[in-house]
Amino acid sequence: MAGTVNQSIMPLTAKVNENNHLEIGGLDTVELAEIYGTPLYVLDEEGIRTCCRQYKDAFSSYKNARILFASKAFMTKAMCCILKSEGIGLDVVSGGELYTALKSDFPMENIYFNGNNKSSEELELAIDSKIGRITVDNFLELALLDSVAKSKNVNIDILLRLTPGIECHTHEYIQTGHLDSKFGFDITQLDEAIELITQEYTNLNLKGLHAHIGSQIFETRIYHDLVGIILEQFAKIKDKFNITLEEMNLGGGLGVKYTDDDNPPSIYDIAKIILDSLNMNLEKYNLPAPKLIIEPGRSIICSSGVTLYTVGSSKQVPNGTKYVAVDGGMSDNPRPSMYQAKYNAVLANKVNDKITETVTIAGRFCESGDVLIKNIELPDIEPGDILCVFDTGAYNYSMSSNYNRVQKPAAILVHNGTSDVIIERESYENLVFLDRIPERLSC
């Protein structure tokens, strides 16, 4: 089986043209930088669509499987339109993500609402919007959701989020399935939660269990084990409460290839492991086949996104590091500062030039930790060169900020030789639009 999109550092349509420039979506990235300015997020539509189709194909042998995009990775109205046309649902974790879907005419029944501290306003928006499912994370939310549902005289279909006790080997901040986690019910708390639902919270309909073991996962056995843990709970719940659960949500977390050292499994590899374990455990526990839900985020969008920067100043530390600054940094990509995340990059205007130096790419922000890439080998790098950092489709825009009052970049979608703005570049006026000066202050 050929590799899948998550296994490539470069976007699916990336190539080097006759000018020794990087092309994506049939367009010269150097020209895109000139037209739209930098920093600039560039998204390869063909890569996104191909990955959506690979997920659907990989799980197609299981007749009741559903793919939801974890929208926290990259949520815009244009992304919602792509997902809708590809038959992919949404996993949202906030009222803002849900509102974006609403404004995109996304089918509400194909949305699941996750999150560990949803507000009553967010729950009301979800109920009024008639979304498909709400995944309940804790006891307080059970009570709050039932109260909101009662006030609206409606019944709500829910999943319970389970902490399965599985620890994957990723950065500790993106591990969510181990026992010491802020997310979900511990297995020992499930009985109490179900008793509350069946006896007190009568406006809640329990449909299934949800679990998510983390992010940027390269291990494969971990998915096999997760299926077994969840279906064991299905069997126990059926025996004790006479409830046959209908849905099993395994979350997402499949890793991507940021650098040559990364070796993520393919989408097909993971699907086979999940489905083999599912069939084995259904037979083991004598259970009917549930609806299977997968929630990939990073693996759908990450490899299809790049960020273009313009090179500026440089500093050679005597007998030490050469720092090269670009016109962005930790406000458009905080992941190196937060997670020590590693990236690969090329000079988009000198792709195949001879490698001549090792430099560290620094951002423009007033923090010593604002470093995007340490010790990368590049051709002679000069002010005005265009640096293309790969694999920035996931979480970069989502986690961006206005630190130092710098405007957020624009984002464009490229496809078959055309480019379209899907996020406008912020202006200075945008930065002060919500500012207010009290009358008692004189300016």
List pLDDT tens digits, range 60-103: 999 999 999 999 999 999 999 999 999 999 999 999 999 999 99
Which pLDDT belongs to residue 170? 47
Last residue of a domain, one of 277, 301, 325: 301
Q: How far apart are the first and last CA of the chain?
A: 66
| Residue after which a domain boundary falls, among 301, 324, 352 | 301
Q: What is the pTM of this model?
A: 0.94
Same domain, 261 and 382: no
145-188 tens-digit pLDDT: 999 999 999 999 999 999 987 765 543 433 444 455 677 999 99
pLDDT band per the 50, 70, 90 thresholds, residue 39:
very high
How far apart, in whole angstroms, are the C-alpha atoms of residue 33 and residue 40? 7
Q: Do residue 221 and residue 282 come from a single domain?
A: yes
Assess contact for 82 and 422: CB atoms under 8 A. Answer: no
DSSP string, 302-360: GGGEEEEEEEEEEEE-TTSPEEEEES--TTT--HHHHH-----EEETTSTTSPP-EEEE
| Cβ(8)–Cβ(46) below 8 Å | no
Q: What is the pLDDT of residues 314-360, one digit of tens each?
A: 999 999 999 999 999 999 999 999 989 999 999 999 999 999 999 99
Q: Is 366 among the catalytic positions?
A: yes
Those residues with Cβ within 8 angstroms of residue 341's Cβ, 6 or more apart along the chain or in another chain:
258, 335
Distance CA(302)–CA(305), nearest Å, equals 6
Q: pLDDT band at 206, cuts 50/70/90?
A: very high
Answer yes or no: is pLDDT of 278 > 50. yes
Mean pLDDT (whole number) for 223-228 = 94
At 163, is the secondary structure helix, strand, or coil? strand
Which pLDDT score, from 0 to 100, does residue 181 have? 64
User: Where among 266, 285, 301 does a domain terminate?
Assistant: 301
* Residue 239 within any structural domain of the chain: yes
Q: Which residue is catalytic, options 168, 366, 388, 443?
A: 366
Residues 70 and 209 in one domain: yes
